[in-house]
Amino acid sequence: MLLGEDYITEEGEFVINMGPQHPATHGVLHMKIWLDGETIKKVEPHLGYIHRSIEKMSESLSYRQFVFVTSRMDYLSAHINNQACALAVEKGLQIEATPRAQAIRVIMAELTRLASHQLWWACAGLDLGGVTPFFYAFREREAINDVMEETCGARLTQNYMVPGGVMNDIHPNFQKRVKDVLKQIKDNFHEYDEILTGNVIFQNRLKDVGYISKEDAVSYGCTGPTARASGVSCDIRKLFPYDGYDKLQFEEILSTGGDSWARYQVRMAEMLQSVHIIEQLIDNIPEGDFAAKTKVVIKLPKGDFYQRVETARGELGVYLVSDGAAVPYRCHYRSPNFANLSAIPRMAKGAKIGDLVAIMATVDLVIPDIDR
C-alpha cells in the first residue's frame, strides 16, 4: 500500500510515510506510520535504501582489505568497526596486538566514542528544535577529528586499525593534543548542561517518551546506551573485555528510566567515562612495536571466528567463516543499529507523531549500519 492508493485504512487510520528523505531520520530510513489522529498506532520501518552488500563484498576481499569497508557501515564509529574486524582476524591467527597497539587502539576507540556522542548530542538538539547546541558540540568534535587527521590521515573513514596492530605509529604531537582535547571537553562540558540538559522544553519532550521495559529491551536485542537506559547490563567492554579494557577503571552507566530522557542521560555520562578511560592511558602508552608481525597474505585456518566490540551505539559482532583461503568464505555483521531499530515500533506505540522524532533522536540510529 503506497501513499496515494489507499492512505486511509478501513478502520479510519491515516497512513503516512516518514522518509526516506527526511531530515530527522539522519539518512535514508523510511518509516511508515499508521495514525489515529495524532497518536501512533503502528510504525513499520522500511529498509534497503542504502544497501551496499558489504557482507558479500567482503567475500572477495582479502583479510587486510575487508577492514576498510566497515568504516562505511557505522561511519561515526569507524575506528571501532575496524577494531572489530582486526580483532576477529587476530583471533583466527591466534595472535594478539602488541601492548602499544592495544593502548593506541583503546585511546582511538574512546575518542571515536566521544566524537560520536557529541554528534548525537548535537543532532538530538537539532531534531528537537534547538540549532545552537549543534555548534557547541561540533567545536569539540572538530578538535577530536583534527587529532584523528594528524595520526591516522583521515577524519572519518580512518582505516587505522589493521590486523596485528595499527597502521602507523602515533604522531609525535598526539599525546599533547589529546590532553588538550580532554581539557577542552572537561572545561566546556558544563555548557552542554546549561544550554540543553537543563532546558525545560527539551526535558518535557524527552521525559516519559518512548518507554521500553527491561524485558522488552532484552527481547528486541537492544544493546548499547539504548538497553543500558532500561537497566540491561550489556557493556561488552566489561562483559567480554578486549584490547586491555579489563585493566582499566571505568563504570558501566546504567539507568532504570527506560525513556528517552534516561537514554539521554546515559549517553551524557558515558562521555565523561570515555574521558576518564583516555586519561588513564594517555601517559602510559607502552613502548615497543605498534604492530605485531603478520604475513603479507593472511590466511586464516579453517573454522569460524566471532568477535564482539562495544561501538558507540551497542554491540557490533563480526562473524568470519574461513575455508582456509586468503578471503573469507562468509562474513556477517551483527550491527547494533539494526537491533535497536526493531525496538522503535514498540517504543513509539501510543506516542504522538512528534515524539517519534524524539525517540529516533535518542536511539541514535546510523542508517548505513542498518542496511550495510
Partner 1 sequence: MLKEYFGTIFSAIKSLLTGMKLTGYYFTHLKEIVTEEYPDNRATLKMADRFRGEVIMPHDEKNEHRCTGCQSCELTCPNGSIKIIFKQELQPDGKKKKRIDTWVYHLDMCTMCNLCVEACPSNAIIMGQDFEHSVYEKKYLKKVLNKPGSKLMDGVEE
Residues between 78 and 117 with contacts to partner 1, criterion CB under 8 A = none
Indicate if the alpha-carbon torsion angle 202, 208, 213, 214 is positive or negative.
positive
Query: 29-68: which residues touch partner 1 (CB under 8 A)?
Result: 61, 64-66, 68
Quick check: 167 binds partner 1 (CB under 8 A)?
A: yes
Least distance between partner 1 and beta carbon 153 (Å): 4
Least gap, CB of 106 to partner 1 (angstroms): 21
Nearest to 310 by CA among 217, 219, 224: 224
* Shortest Cβ 58–partner 1 spacing (Å): 10
244 to 273: interface string for partner 1, x by CB under 8 A: ------------------------------
Q: In angstroms, what is the minimal distance from the CB of 329 to partner 1?
A: 18
Cβ-based nearer residue to partner 1, 93 or 147: 147
194 Cβ neighbours under 8 A, 6+ residues apart: none
Q: Which residue, 127 or 310, has its beta carbon nearer to partner 1?
A: 127
CA distances from 201 to 64, 195, 204, 281 (A): 49, 11, 5, 39
What is the DSSP code string of 52-84? --HHHHHTTS-TTTHHHHGGGTSGGGHHHHHHH
- 304, 283 Cβ separation under 8 angstroms: no
Least distance to partner 1 from the beta carbon of 9, Å? 40
Residue written as grid cell 512528534: 354
Name the residue nearer to partner 1 (CB basis): 195 or 321.
195
Residue 146 or 304: which CB sits closer to partner 1? 146
Question: 65 near 256, Cβ under 8 Å?
Answer: no
User: What is the enclosing helix (H) or strand (E) of 40?
Assistant: strand 39-46
Nearest CA among 303, 214, 205, 218 for reference residue 260: 205
**CB hemisphere CA count around 269 (13 angstroms):** 15
175 binds partner 1 (CB under 8 A): no
Task: Map the footprint of partner 1 across residues 141-160, applying CB under 8 A.
Answer: 146, 149-154, 157, 159
Residue 258's alpha-carbon distances to 215, 225, 227, 239, 286, in angstroms, are 11, 10, 8, 21, 40
Under the criterion CB under 8 A, does residue 208 sit at the interface with partner 1?
no
Q: At its nearest, how many Å lie between partner 1 and the CB of residue 132?
A: 6
**Contact range with partner 1 by CB under 8 A, out of 105-113, 165-173, 178-186, 271-279:** 165-173
Rg (CA), the chain: 21
Contact set with partner 1 (CB under 8 A): 61, 64-66, 68-69, 132, 139, 146, 149-154, 157, 159, 167-168, 171, 191, 194-196, 198-201, 203, 296
